[in-house]
Amino acid sequence: MERMMVVVFDSEKKAYEGAAALRQLEREGSITAYAGAVVAKNADGTASVKQLDDSGPVGSLVGTSVGSLIGLLGGPAGVAIGAASGLAVGAVLDLENARVGTDFVEDVSRSLKPTKVALIAEIEEDWTTPVDTRMEALGGTVLRRALSDVEEDIRQKDVTAMKADLAQLKAEASKARADRRAKLQSRIDQLKEKIEAQQHDAKERRDAFRARQQAKGAVLKKNAVAAGRALKDLANTRL
């Protein structure tokens, strides 16, 4: 199952040890990690990205669930986090891209108090015990949430409503006097621009999401092949 995982530690050193443990779990085949970061909460309430692990299949953290969650945790300071970390400002404060509910963001925010440091990662895991055991041994508090599928219902409903408004404005404009028609035409043009922008944004999100899912699928397939080879080698090993 795809999950967003956040492990809160008391120190930066422990968070780095947690990141190393996560990589070890991946080598053991217990999980697959797609993207991750170590984020510290400063005494003034701002957040700082201390380490990025975006060399995996999804590439840059821009537009990923991890990148979006980092921005949400940073709040207004998330823009500064983004600038320092290579995250696009427009992709930072985005709950939809984070693919988790506001309650999860609030839970993480409450746990990630000033001077605390969090390991944030998007992972695939079949069961929670391997991660929990390693992280708890390091003193970490684990929070996780299954990632939701991309939902476009709300955006589609907005576009449908705007198209209905557009049709009504066009009908009014066809019957209006010249002075009134000019004002209506201005509103029509503005509405058209909004609809086109929504549709363009939706397409970009769909394309980016499909690309990330394909990359993740390739990694899962690669890991499965590697695991199969390891089992074959083990079966052929003399005891």
Residue 206 tokens read as 């769909």
Contacts of 26 (CB under 8 A, 6+ apart): 32, 33
Contacts of 5 (CB under 8 A, 6+ apart): 119, 120, 121, 122, 123, 131, 142, 143, 144
pLDDT per residue as tens, the chain (239 positions): 888 899 999 999 999 999 999 999 988 888 888 778 898 888 877 778 887 765 443 345 555 778 778 877 775 544 344 444 444 334 344 556 677 777 888 888 889 998 899 999 988 888 899 999 999 999 999 998 888 654 555 567 667 888 888 898 899 888 888 888 888 898 899 889 888 887 777 777 667 666 665 665 666 566 555 545 544 554 555 54
Contacts of 95 (CB under 8 A, 6+ apart): 68, 72, 102, 105
What ranges do the domains of the chain cover?
A: 2-146, 153-233
How far is 208 from 28, CA to CA, in rounded Å?
Answer: 29
Contacts of 30 (CB under 8 A, 6+ apart): 125, 130, 131
Answer for the pair 195, 162: CB distance below 8 angstroms, yes or no. yes
| pLDDT score at 119 | 95
| pLDDT score at 77 | 46
CA 232 to chain centre: 36
| pLDDT score at 208 | 64
